[in-house]
Structure 1
Amino acid sequence: MTADDSFDRLNDDDYPAYTMGRAAEMLGTTQGFLRAVGEARLITPLRSTGGHRRYSRYQLRIAARARELVDHGTPVEAACRIVILEDQLEEAQRINAEHQRRAAGTPTAVS
């Protein structure tokens, strides 16, 4: 593995770069909160070879949104359902916009 490969992984939103302790610290929450959103199936951390939970930046953004809702009084399970629905809505809107561009004959960007 080259230094460029390591740098590319750090720029990857899906690369599980953060330990549970670091993730909780970054979110200003507890490890228990991260376990709770995991149990509610909002995020599923990857496991290191030693069995430790690892989180990606994408997962931390999702957990941060759930924490925002919880901080405003929403129960954890409900907050997780809301975040999942928001994510599904965003994806549906993206797909709809893509279909509209295709129907209009506008070239789409390559992902």
Structure 2
Amino acid sequence: MGRAAEIVGVTQVFLRNLDAAKLLTPQRSAGGHRRYSRYQLRLAARVRQLVDEGNPLEAACRIVILEDQLTEAQRINRELQHTIEEARGND
């Protein structure tokens, strides 16, 4: 956890707060240490940016969740558009 906090530029308490807010659920090592993925570290960095801009932690977490959902919806939309274009090409 200390290394993850260092990478993101936050405190360990900040990461624990993201865990408590259910934004991040890190894997646990055999010794019980939190292990964050690169994706989770990117989310934590984005939350930190939003908090630094003056947003409350809870609002920053919600913004990050909505941004992530939007990105996923856009990805699915692109895939569907590609599938439709392929289907039209086969007609």
> Would you call these one fold, judging by a TM-score over 0.5?
yes
- Partner SS, residue 61 of structure 2: helix
Per-residue CA distance 1:19-46 (angstroms, 9 max, x = gap): x100111111100000011111111011
Aligned to 1:77: 58
Q: Which residue of 2 aligns with 1:46?
A: 27
Q: 1 CA distance for matches of 2:84 and 2:15? A: 42
Alignment partner, residue 17 of structure 1 = none
Q: How does 1:32-71 map to 2 (within 5 A)?
A: 32-71=13-52
Task: Indicate the residue corresponding to 1:98 in structure 2.
Answer: 79
Offset of 1:59 from its aligned partner?
Answer: 0.6
Instruction: Structure 2 unaligned segments of length 5 or more: list them.
Output: none
Letter of the aligned partner of 2:6 in structure 1? E
- SS for the counterpart of 1:33 is helix
- In the superposition, the TM-score normalised over structure 2's length comes to 0.91
User: C-alpha separation between the residues in 2 aligned to 1:59 and 1:25?
Assistant: 14
2-side partners of 1:100 and 1:73: how far apart? 38
Give TM-score, length-normalised by structure 1.
0.75
RMSD of the alignment, in Å?
1.0
- Number of residues of Structure 1 aligned to a counterpart in Structure 2: 87
Q: Secondary structure at the match of 1:104?
A: helix
Determine the C-alpha separation between the residues in 1 that align with 2:59 and 2:37.
22
The percentage of counterpart residues that share the same residue type is 69
Structure 1 consecutive aligned stretches of length 4 or more whose deviation exceeds 2 Å: none
